[in-house]
Structure 1
Amino acid sequence: MRVFLILALLTVLCAAAVDMKKYKRALKNDSRLRKLYIEKFGAADLTSEKLTNFKEALQFVVNQNENPNIGWESDVNFFAPRSQEERNDILLKPDTSTGYDVSGLTFPLGSNAEDEVDWVSAGYISEVQDQTVDCRACWAFAALAALEGRYQILTNKSVEFSEQELIDCVYWVEDRAQDGCYGGHFADVFKFLAKFGHLASESSAPYSSSVGSCSYGAVENALTDAHLDGSKSYSLVSYDDQTLIDTLLDGPIATAVQTTQAFLFYSSGVLRDDTCTSLIPNHAVALVGYNANSFRVKNSWGTNWGDGGYMKVARGHHGCGMIFYGVIPNLVEGAPTTKDITKPPKCNDTWGASFCSNYLDYCQYYMAYCKKSCSEKLGIACE
């Protein structure tokens, strides 16, 4: 029986491995390339441009996997047929105000209090979701991975919270224009929760991959047994290996990363990517565990990306930004004090009519700049 199980496991591993011979043959023959594309993605939307994009991605994957100095495997995925512009549609706009020159930068490994921590296998992380339908909502998914894990650790209650409420409402935090499907920051999630004390469950407000109205006053609050500290809703995590593993002992961490080709087409193994040298983050993920040589990362691109929706990144390395941008919610036991989150901010056209006329289609994200004009466009009554 033991021999049978080992053989079965080997069969599964072989089946899951990248078929390099098949990929190489496809690169040399257009007919085989087309056949492989249809096998991966179907024929419905196949165009010459997508086939060209796919071929370039396939060549990258082959080059990566044949590099003996790389300790991870790549594979083509839903990014392969997309142009760079289409890939950018699900990534955050790079924040050029931040950045670190990390050429050759390494960090000493910390001393493990536990040999391994994995909040996924421990049952504190919800299933991987897919935000990849033209909605830059990674910030909400990363924030909730950290929040849900820490909420369950503190209260012993497992709750899947609603990304959709955050997408619809977080741009009103501090009357700033941001977030939604146009990108945002996970720290603003924690400020929003500290301010309003309300968050629906995923079942009450499921993810729609688009922005709706912030109208959750009548939706049952799922944030019932803990709340965000009003004086300090979140904390930044110091960027060194020891602090990260110590923080992970208490729960998951939301963080940001600069995506590269290696990141987009990661499949398995431990990523140690040195192609990002001046870090400018454009995606949010969550650190959900560690072992002797790597951090485990939860993404929000579905289970067909990476290793079932997860990846491993090397410890002792900058992780293309993951160790620099860690944030955790400061949860406190006890029910939150709720406020009305459906109340629009006061009207104040600080940017003038010319700005508003150009951006009225995106009113929900510019309420802070031209509230009166945008409120008229949206049909929202102003104070």
Structure 2
Amino acid sequence: MWKLFIFICCINYQIVTSSLSEANSTTFDYKSEFEKFKNNNNRKYLRNNDEMRSFKAFEENYNFIEEHNQHYQEGQKSFRLKPNIFADMSTDGYLKGYLRLLKSNVEESADNIAEIVGSPLMTNVPESLDWRSKGFITPSYNQQTCGSCYAFSIAESIEGQVFKRTGKVLSLSEQQIVDCSVSHGNQGCVGGSLRNTLIYLQSTGGIMRADDYKYVAKKGKCQFVPDLSVVNVTSWAILPVHDEQAIQAAVTHIGPVAISINATPKTFQLYSDGIYDDASCSSASVNHAMLVIGFGKDYWILKNWWGARWGESGFMRIRKGVNMCGIANYAAYAIVFGFKIEGRNVESTKTKCTKDFWWAVVVLRLQLRWNPAAWHPTSVWPPFEAHPFHPILQLRQARIRIPKHLVPRVPEKWSMSIRHTPRRYRVRPSNSFPAPLQQPPPFLHSIQRLFRSQLISMLLL
């Protein structure tokens, strides 16, 4: 009997010993991986408690990564995870340290909605597009511990427009936005919003080069110098909410577009590669800003500001068509009118003077002949309030600026001085005209409808 008892004790001892050695080897593996992580990311901790807390978070994240990637190997997931720069951060630390997109205090009714929907631009869209393949290659920026995603998104969106029109990459200052847009509702490195940033750039009118106003990842005193501004932002536009087709059209015909997104899930934090489609990523709220730089048949290509060690060298592919993570909740772009390349002023609009364009100019001249007082030189240029059917008014509603040298001038025989202008057409203090006594003839309406879409398309292309 006692021999049987000794035999059972020996077996139990071997089992306990093997389990302890297995646990020790597992702990050793975590520690070795953690050391690799610290060396690769140049991570140093001031106190032992901080390192112990980071190691615990790393161990938890590493287990989560291994489990997720196992599902990826089995074909249950379409993207992988890895121990990236956030692998030693808990979810709370990640949310508080990097996701600081704020809600704007400006009413949404004040937004400038872009009239892309319903125009020919919606149908003239390729199946896939990547602005990087066209030459728009910018560094993999790292916002670091400064919550400046809003500044990077808008600045690079403007850079994309400049590249589309000139073929050259002009690096703009994100630090200017961080320092100077506080007066318009942003809070520096604490956070900001895309809308506040656009309002600031429109009121300021310009943005400096990154070389003249370098990024330092902390809020400082505003040092904007108007004479060193290289891009003139005249207006901005917001794409329709939850309309991914409008985003696709804007990325194609305007350039990279800034978007807001929900980056809360742990899978977003530890994303490595593949098409991100985590069902737990809600579209109800957003807390981060990124840049749509292209798209494929079933995914968007986004650029992030967390360095090259996150995602696909700083980029991300995310499922298209389902408003994944609220990508279509708020998409915006600035409207650039002029900029400087190598000290030379460059016009922002390149208009193709085709037959259709000149027919559209004929429409403008017909409007001019029918109601010359609407083009009186004493009125606001262009006098949008003068005529409810004016094609210039409709183009302005679509946020399209016509170069002045292409707008028909008032012929000398039609020019009228203030003294000879009928009172009903004179400019009032409110800069508004009374309604004309007569409306344009019906044939003018049909001509206008026929060529309006042609004119909008050519001015944007």
* Superposition TM-score, scaled by structure 2 size: 0.59
Indicate how the Cα distance of structure 1 residues 85 and 334 shifts in structure 2: closer, same or farther if over 3 A, else same: closer
Distance in 2 of aligned mates of 1:320 and 1:328: 20
Q: Distance in 1 between matches of 2:149 and 2:61?
A: 23
2-side partners of 1:214 and 1:198: how far apart?
14
Is the Cα–Cα contact under 8 Å of residues 102 and 192 in structure 2 kept in the other structure?
no
Aligned match for 1:197, one of 197, 205, 208: 205
Q: Show the 5 A alignment for 1:122-271.
A: 122-132=134-144, 134-173=145-184, 176=185, 178-217=186-225, 220-223=228-231, 227-229=232-234, 232-250=235-253, 251-259=255-263, 260-271=265-276
Q: 1:284: which partner in 2?
A: 289
Partner Cα distance (1:246, 1:266) in 2: 27
The alpha carbon displacement at 1:217 in A equals 2.4
Paired position in structure 2 for 1:115: 127
Find the residue that maps to 1:199 and give its secondary structure. strand
Determine helix, strand or coil for the equivalent of 1:40: helix
Contact 1:237 1:327 in 2 (8 A): no
| 1:144 aligned partner, one-letter code | A
Q: CA deviation at 1:263?
A: 0.9
SS at match of 2:85: coil
Q: How many residues align?
A: 292
Q: Deviations over 1:235-281 (max 9, x none)?
A: 23442332221111021110111111111111111011210235211
Question: Is contact 1:96-1:280 (8 Å) kept?
Answer: no
User: Structure 1 pair 228/262, CA: closer, same or farther in 2 (3 Å)?
Assistant: same
Structure 1 runs (4+) deviating above 6 angstroms are: 25-28
User: Does the C-alpha gap of structure 1 residues 303 and 120 become closer, same or farther in structure 2, counting only changes over 3 Å?
Assistant: same
Is 1:37 aligned with 2:37?
A: no
Give the equivalent residue in structure 1 for 2:91.
84
Please tell me whether the aligned partners of residues 104 and 196 of structure 2 are also in contact (alpha carbons under 8 angstroms): no
The gaps in structure 2 that reach 5 residues or longer are: 1-21, 108-121, 346-461
Question: Secondary structure of the residue that 1:147 maps to in structure 2?
Answer: helix
Residues 51 and 334 (structure 1), Cα distance of their counterparts in 2 relative to 1, 3 Å cut:
closer
Partner of 2:58 in structure 1? 54
Root mean square deviation, CA, Å: 2.7
Q: Which amino acid aligns with 2:152?
A: F
CA 1:199–1:111 in structure 2 vs 1: closer, same or farther (change >3 Å)? Answer: closer
CA contact (8 A) 1:37 1:54 kept: yes
- State the structure with more CA Rg: 2
Q: CA deviation at 1:233?
A: 2.3
Give the unaligned 5+ runs of structure 1: 1-24, 99-109, 337-383
Q: Distance in 2 between matches of 1:323 and 1:28?
A: 47
Q: Deviations over 1:276-309 (max 9, x none)?
A: 2352111110110011111100000000000000
Post-superposition offset of 1:84: 3.2
Work out the percentage of aligned pairs sharing the same amino acid.
23
For residue 209 of structure 1, report the CA deviation from its aligned partner.
0.4
- Normalised to the residue count of structure 1, the TM-score between the two structures is 0.70
Matches within 5 A, 1:267-346: 267-277=272-282, 279-333=284-338
1:155, CA displacement in angstroms? 4.3
Q: Which deviates further from its counterpart, 83-92 or 55-64? A: 83-92
